[in-house]
Amino acid sequence: MTLSLSAPLILLLLPLPLLVWFFAPPHRHRVRATRVPFFRDLTQAAGVEARHGALILRRTTLQMIAACLAWALLVLALAGPERLGEPIVTENAARDTVLAIDISGSMDERDFVAQDGTRKQRLEAVTDVLRPFIAERDGDRMALIVFGTRAFVQAPFTDDLQSLNGFLDQTQVGMAGPNTALGDAIGLAIRTFQGSEIEERLMILLSDGSDTSSTMTPVNAASIAADQGVTIYTIGVGDPEATGEARVDLGILEDIAKRTGGEFFYADDQEALTSIYQRIDELNPRVVETTSYRPKTSLAHVPLALALMIVLLATTLLHLGSRRRGARHV
């Protein structure tokens, strides 16, 4: 257990009664008196010396000790004694990450080769790789955006990454429309970041098609993202040799990453996709802001209670002593 004072300078008040004792003159008060012509004879008979000034009552040793202790305890209470608990360390997110996943109709293609050689649906392969990636980002706040013909926030920023995996499991191909809106997905991510006070902002954009339905071009959206301090890593997973909307536009994905200071990757099977997310994790290691504090418990009531007990005890003893003296005189 560690004890400390919240206002230790208050202890400078401890010698204040001594300063008053030495430098402040006794209070003088004029009272009516009876003059007697034989005053000198009385003082000589009593064996005392007559002095000019006020009568100062003498204090007993008990009164002095009680007063000193009570004053010291009161000053100690004003200084704010407190007990410090064990340090509590908290880690806060130092980076916000947005995952933007293409769920257009082409993501239903079963042309992704898994590590065991079987073919998987594109979206299924992506989610299988994303789960361990999300788990390893402990300390980041993450949000999930899905896009097809339109872009939607599937999960807002959260540090509960387990719940994010739950939202990822609920994502289905085509639920946002059959087309691809790359620019709108980036624009929605920018708006999502606007509610964040964290300066380090990362977006991971995965798509298997070309932009066909955005209200804002991907290039313009990427330029705005760069101005907002958003770094975008793009991943292409479709077929660059296909035609129409099924063809992934690797050029625009590479341009988006270049404009925002990110990197572009292409994956044609699940193993390559896994290595890409590992590479992104290496480029953006876990970053947290660590804060620590020690809980404080005020102990000011302890010296106050002791001071009160001392005053009451001294008063009781003085009262009993005066009664005994009065009984002996009787």
B/e letters for 260-293, b = 16+ CB within 10 Å, e = fewer, are bebbbbbbebbebbbebbeebeeebeeeeeeeee
Top CATH class of 90-290 equals alpha beta
For the record, the structure tokens of 198 come out as 């964290």
pLDDT tens across 55-65, in order?
A: 555 677 888 88
Phi/psi for 97 (5° steps) reads -125, 130
Residues in the chain: 330
Q: What percentage of the chain carries pLDDT values higher than 70? A: 87
pLDDT-derived band at 54, boundaries 50, 70, 90: very low
Domain spans in the chain, listed from the N-terminal domain onward: 2-24+56-86+295-329, 90-290
- Ranges 99-108, 225-234, 276-285: which has the least confidence: 276-285
pLDDT tens across 183-217, in order?
A: 999 999 999 998 887 888 999 999 887 888 888 89
Query: What pLDDT sits at residue 325?
Result: 61
Is residue 209 a contact partner of residue 248, using CB atoms and an 8 Å limit?
Answer: yes
Query: What pLDDT sits at residue 74?
Result: 94
Query: Looking at per-residue confidence, does 322 or 130 come out higher?
Result: 130
- Mean pLDDT of all residues in 32-45: 74
Place of tokens 């005392």: 48
Query: How many CA within 13 A on the CB side of residue 129?
Result: 29
- Mean pLDDT of all residues in 82-106: 82
Q: Is the pLDDT of residue 29 over 70?
A: no
pLDDT tens across 127-179, in order?
A: 989 988 888 877 678 999 999 999 999 999 988 888 888 888 889 998 988 88
